[in-house]
Amino acid sequence: GDSVTQMEGPVTLSEEAFLTINCTYTATGYPSLFWYVQYPGEGLQLLLKATKADDKGSNKGFEATYRKETTSFHLEKGSVQVSDSAVYFCALRTSIDDKIIFGKGTRLHILP
């Protein structure tokens, strides 16, 4: 079945470091891909999305490119801030039945 696999955390970085959180997926058809973020004590918020191959989603300095050939949607940021500390979820929405499937999440800690 369709699934999302993302790197396990926690990931701990110093402020201004480069961030990559890996995400790969398995899906039939042509899914849309998403990154959601969950800040402490808050609900899930959409961070960015891409709806077709080679699309790049971006928001708040974060980027991810929909790579169909490698079935990946890795999240990157060039210079992280303490305020980026949160849990990040990779997700896909299947094109066949509109189901939204999440990865297990990656906890990110940014040290000042």
Rounded to whole angstroms, the Cα distance separating 66 from 28 reads 15
Tell the smallest beta-carbon distance from residue 86 to other proteins (Å): 14
Longest dimension (CA), the chain: 44
Tokens for 46, please give them: 């959409």
Please, what is the minimum distance in Å from the beta carbon of residue 45 to other proteins?
7
Q: Give 97 or 112: the residue with its C-beta nearer to other proteins.
A: 97
Q: How far is the CB of 18 from other proteins (least distance, A)?
A: 25
Pick the closer one to other proteins by CB: 38 or 72. 38
Q: Is the distance from CB of 28 to CB of 96 less than 8 angstroms?
A: yes
Nearer to other proteins, 10 or 78 (CB): 10
Amino acid at residue number 52: K
- Owner of token pair 């980027």: 63
Q: Which residues bind other proteins (CB under 8 A)?
A: 4, 31-32, 34, 36, 42-46, 49, 51, 89, 91, 93, 95, 97-105
